[in-house]
Amino acid sequence: TAPLRGDEDAGDEDAKLQTNEDTELHNHKNLKPFSSIIAIFATWVDDIILTGPDNTVLDNITQALNARSSLTDGGALTHTLGVQVIRAENGDLHLVQRHYTEKVLEKFNHTTCHAEAIPLDPSAIASLVPRDDTAPAAEKARYSELLGSLNYLSTRTRPDIALAISFLFRFMANPSPAHWSALKRVLRYLCGTTGSGLRLPAAPGFGLRLPAATGFGPQLPATIGFGLHVPLQIVAYSDSDWACAVADRKSITGYLLQVKPKQLPENHPALHATIIWRSGKQSSCREISWFRHIVEDVLGDVDPIPLFMDNHGALEISRDTRRINKRSKHIDIRYLYVGEAAEQGKVAPQAVSSRENQADIFTKGLARPDFERHCQALGVVLTPFPT
């Protein structure tokens, strides 16, 4: 993604793309302040999504780009890289992969089945163990194929199945009937939720255009422009389930980044959510720093990002590295990065109850009430398809 800054009427030489962390773009010495941003691009190979607060400005930019190279104006964004984009009557955007989900269900013979309410049995993480004997090669290939298909879905529009897919990847080299049963449960869950996807509440002042085709990068489920004069708030949640897997005593960690206007209430769904699996607070903090640079490139200075966690010990060390004592000195130096980021004002570690930690859905098998509550917080809802 990249912001286009400059004066619309000053000619195309005064409106340049600013360099950010994710693309090789050119700086311009006469970049103007945040208030003069006129458009935001999201590119994927030769596809471009263009968004901005003024349709006239977007038309002018499209014409200027078309004068230099032949482009096809696709109009309002409706599809991109297998993701359908639906705008509800209230202005909300819904990202959904219903057709892709239906194809996966058909391929693996689960188009008609008893739907499950949750994708992973709460006891599965503690009970599933590696297979003793060797699985047939064909069975391994089929298991890997299904996992890959579902992983594509979970990393784009269905973060509600991220834990199940991530955990079942551990057994990909030698899956057992129990692992197959757990994976088929995910299919049964999807069978009852084919129309679900990510909801992005409307932000004032922005629409989406396609001066070329459509597209966005694999780690960004959506690149959405916000109203330029709406102050944004970035919030992060981090959680881990220590040594939860009985078979190998490995832990599961995950985190969530949310972006939303500051004036919205805390329980308002996030406008954008990116879910990435890493190794605990340190890696989540590194990803937060990277994301912070991207937002600063587009929107200017960013306040310290609240990093909510429900582990008291981790919170205290994150706030003050001097609290490390003889019982915690084994903690690797690289994990002190969180404390350094806090001292530098990049993040602000804060406490949150386990119930309210929205990253819980990525680390624990939850019962239906808690699972559905976290899905709502993520913005995973039924898509209002046009009739």
> What Cα–Cα distance (Å) separates residue 384 from each residue in 80, 86, 93, 107, 195?
18, 8, 10, 26, 8
Q: Any idea of the CA torsion for 50, 55, 59, 64, to the nearest 10 degrees?
A: -60
Q: Any idea of the CA torsion for 357, 333, 321, 335, to the nearest 10 degrees?
A: -10
Q: Torsions phi, psi of 84, nearest 5?
A: -90, 135
Print burial letters for 338-365: b (CB count within 10 Å at least 16), e (below 16).
bbebbeeebbbbeebeeeebbbbbbbbb
CA atoms of 190 and 380, how far apart (whole Å): 12
Residue 278: predicted pLDDT: 35
Residue 64: predicted pLDDT: 81
Q: Give the 3-state DSSP-derived string for 162-198, with helices as H, strands as E and coil as C.
A: HHHHHHHHHHCCCCCHHHHHHHHHHHHHHHCCCCEEE
CA atoms of 226 and 229, how far apart (whole Å): 8
Is there a contact between 293 and 21 (Cβ–Cβ < 8 Å)? yes
CA atoms of 247 and 126, how far apart (whole Å): 8
Give bridge partners of residue 165 from the DSSP assignment.
Answer: none
Q: What secondary structure letter does DSSP report for 229?
A: T
Residue 213: predicted pLDDT: 35
Q: How far is CA 219 from the centre of its chain?
A: 7
Residue 245: predicted pLDDT: 61
Closest CA to 281 of 247, 321, 245, 246: 321
Summarised one tens digit per residue, pLDDT across range 281-327 is 556 677 777 788 777 776 667 788 888 888 766 666 565 555 544 44
CA atoms of 380 and 95, how far apart (whole Å): 9
Closest CA to 73 of 102, 99, 48: 48
CA atoms of 122 and 240, how far apart (whole Å): 16
Q: Is residue 105 helix, strand or coil? A: helix
Is there a contact between 179 and 128 (Cβ–Cβ < 8 Å)? yes
Residue 180: predicted pLDDT: 97
- Which residues in the chain come in under a pLDDT of 70? 1-38, 203-232, 242-249, 260-284, 298-300, 312-339, 387
Tokens 């003889």 map to which residue?
Answer: 326
Query: Beta strands of 6-144 (E only): which ranges?
Result: 16-17, 37-44, 47-52, 75-76, 79-80, 83-87, 93-96
CA atoms of 134 and 167, how far apart (whole Å): 20
CA atoms of 273 and 255, how far apart (whole Å): 10
Give, for 308, the enclosing helix (H) or strand (E): strand 305-309
Closest CA to 48 of 67, 69, 74, 24: 74
Q: What secondary structure letter does DSSP report for 3?
A: E
Q: Which residues contact 83 (CB under 8 A, 6 or more apart)?
A: 95, 96, 97, 156, 157, 221
Q: Torsions phi, psi of 238, nearest 5?
A: -135, 140
Tokens 């793309």 map to which residue?
Answer: 17
Cα distance from N-terminal residue to C-terminal residue, the chain:
33
Q: Is residue 84 helix, strand or coil? A: strand
Residue 74: predicted pLDDT: 80
Summarised one tens digit per residue, pLDDT across range 15-73 is 444 444 444 333 333 334 334 556 777 788 878 888 777 777 778 878 887 888 888 77
